[in-house]
A and B are shown apart, each in its own frame.
Chain A
Amino acid sequence: MDLVLDDIGVVYRRGGYETRAVRGVSLHIRKGETLAIVGESGSGKTTIAKVAAGLQKATSGSLAWRSTPYGAPEGARGTGSRRVQMVFQHPVQSLDPLWRIRRAVQEPLWHGGASRREADARAAELITQVGLDPSVLDRYPRQISGGQAQRVAIARALIAKPEIVILDEPTASLDQTVRARILTLLAELQAGTGVGYLMITHDISSVRRLATRIAVMYHGLIVESGPASAVLDAPRHPYTRALIAAVPIADPRVPWNGAEHVARHRAGILAQAPCPVESSPCRDHGTGLHQVGSEHLVACTAAA
């Protein structure tokens, strides 16, 4: 348990309205593994990523790095934050357009007091590790492609030797062939450095090759979590099932009717009582998670 989020709640207040974006989420990430948080827009997954990165205060709950609290709720960035780095969804926009790639990649080292020579050597090493030519270091963000920019962002995230990297939709804005290469690169870097990933994605089909564990979020709650194979191959929560069934199968010979599945699972959610998401006791308070297998938890009393 390297990074632990305990009972995190986030409430956004705007114009007299309160939105409970995250409602009592607990999770942990170990070095060397990948926890994928899967959810649709509005599920609270990006808010969780920001809290874990120390970019956003939690309204309630606590964060700890190896039992040392940091971050929320005071927002003080302590020992944990240097060990946690982040890669954002839009790679080109996440780089300063006025900075050469070299400066962007080296920036995390400045806070550690590295010499210029060390920083140069390390930047060249990292840029090669992510599969780019060192000449890229002399270019500006607008002079490189989206796939190259995401490799740069990964190099930048890894240069200060973090223990956890948060990947917020790291491949969502990339082409399919580039996406596959970036996922392969992330897996290789993890094998080489032992870094842990917290990966945020809306695309459950993209997590199979990288995720060790999966947590499925819906309306600010974790509704199912467990080993990737258990969640993908034997999903228990009606929402997880709908999410998986809704992905179009890339084979015209395999019949698929995603809309029917989604409708059926939604009907299933409504029919099961007490239900964690659609019936009012669950929607308002949650039911807690029930164990259905080794480390496999489901917030659904009907499924448990």
Chain B
Amino acid sequence: MTLLSVEGLSIRTADGHTLVRDFALDVNPGEIVGIVGESGSGKTMTALSLLGLLPAGVSVACGDASLSGRPFLRDGRVCERPNATMIFQNPTAALNPTMKIEAQLIRLLTFLGKRRGTGRRGRRARAEALLESVGIHEPRAVLRRYPHQLSGGMNQRVMVAMAVAAEPSLLIADEPTTGLDVTVQAQILELIRSTVASRGIGVLFVSHDMGVIAQTCRRVAVMYHGELREFADVDDVFHAPRDAYTEELLASTLEQPSER
């Protein structure tokens, strides 16, 4: 069964500009689906709109969306909170700078515990286990630190840990490796892939990088100026593009070094 289904999504500003027009896409469980486009294409607005995180003055004009068959967006109005979480481009800025990692995780687990009945004693152990599950080898040391004392890659691992703590069925990743070093990026992409494989969740992966898309996603939506230009398997998009803009995007992809 389809995990996420989005249809006829349009996003507008208060002064009448259309940022996204008639967008549609679906994600299956255990699948990573990409949205690729350049700045201003509307890819981030699309991702934010699904979680009700649009900035002030921007709103969903119309569209329907459902997660696991339950509608959460009906005719442009949010009717339910979807079981989805999100990670962002700048992990260090996404974390609270005044709190140690431990306090942030415990607070999150306490919040989640209200719904799930996790005991207070179990939360510290759960926090450690969560960090271990995202490939952090010394969770105790990381728990004691503030975000600014950790690298961007480490903070993004912490973000992934917090995102999966809620046991979402969908993870939205908005440029999760942009700004990270390329060697760190490779490790975070692997973490996202292994998280999908072990938890069977779906991922909506927003990126401007064709290499990242090619190696991470099964299907990809190409956006340009708020319009969905193409939505297909990555193999088709990269080897048989149907849209002129997709062709330009592929042509501009810089040559890769041949040595592997």
- The 17 sampled A-B contact pairs (Cβ below 8 Å) are A176-B208, A177-B252, A180-B254, A183-B254, A202-B181, A208-B254, A243-B183, A244-B257, A244-B259, A246-B182, A248-B215, A248-B216, A249-B256, A250-B256, A252-B234, A259-B187, A259-B190
Given A40, A177, A260, which contacts B182 in the complex, CB threshold below 8 Å?
A: A40
- Secondary structure of the A side of the interface? helix
The 4 closest A-B CB pairs, nearest first, are A258-B186, A259-B190, A248-B211, A175-B38
Q: Are B257 and A204 in contact (CB under 8 A)?
A: yes
Q: How many angstroms between the C-alpha atoms of A177 and B209 in the bound complex?
A: 11
Chain B residues, Cβ within 8 Å of A249: 211, 214-215, 256
With CB as the reference atom, state the residue of chain A lying closest to B210: A250
Q: How many angstroms between the C-alpha atoms of A204 and B182 in the bound complex?
A: 9
- Given A259-B186, A259-B189, verify A250-B259 contact (CB < 8 Å): no
**A55 close to B (CB within 8 Å):** no
**B235 close to A (CB within 8 Å):** yes
Listed stretches A122-130, A159-167, A228-236, A296-304; interface member: A228-236
Chain B residues, Cβ within 8 Å of A244: 257, 259-260
Q: Are B208 and A232 in contact (CB under 8 A)?
A: no
Q: How many angstroms between the C-alpha atoms of A246 and B184 in the bound complex?
A: 8
Q: How many angstroms between the C-alpha atoms of A180 and B256 in the bound complex?
A: 13
| B36 smallest CB distance to A (angstroms) | 9
With CB as the reference atom, state the residue of chain A lying closest to B37: A175
**B98 close to A (CB within 8 Å):** no
Q: How many angstroms between the C-alpha atoms of A208 and B257 in the bound complex?
A: 8
With CB as the reference atom, state the residue of chain B lying closest to A239: B183
Q: Are B214 and A250 in contact (CB under 8 A)?
A: yes
| A267 smallest CB distance to B (angstroms) | 13
Q: Are B254 and A234 in contact (CB under 8 A)?
A: no
Q: How many angstroms between the C-alpha atoms of A177 and B249 in the bound complex?
A: 6
Chain B residues, Cβ within 8 Å of A111: none
Total number of B residues with any Cβ neighbor in A under 8 Å: 38
Q: How many angstroms between the C-alpha atoms of A256 and B256 in the bound complex?
A: 12
Given B183, B209, B253, B256, which contacts A262 in the complex, CB threshold below 8 Å?
A: B183
- Given A246-B183, A262-B183, verify A253-B235 contact (CB < 8 Å): yes
Residues of chain B in range 186-208 having any CB-CB distance to chain A below 8 Å: 186-187, 189-190, 208
Q: Are A205 and B259 in contact (CB under 8 A)?
A: no
With CB as the reference atom, state the residue of chain A lying closest to B250: A250
Q: Are B211 and A180 in contact (CB under 8 A)?
A: no
Listed residue (B187, B209, B211, B254) with the most chain A CB atoms within 10 angstroms of its CB: B254
**A41 close to B (CB within 8 Å):** yes
Q: Are A242 and B183 in contact (CB under 8 A)?
A: yes
With CB as the reference atom, state the residue of chain B lying closest to A248: B211
Q: Are A246 and B186 in contact (CB under 8 A)?
A: yes
With CB as the reference atom, state the residue of chain A lying closest to B233: A252
**B255 close to A (CB within 8 Å):** yes
With CB as the reference atom, state the residue of chain A lying closest to B186: A258
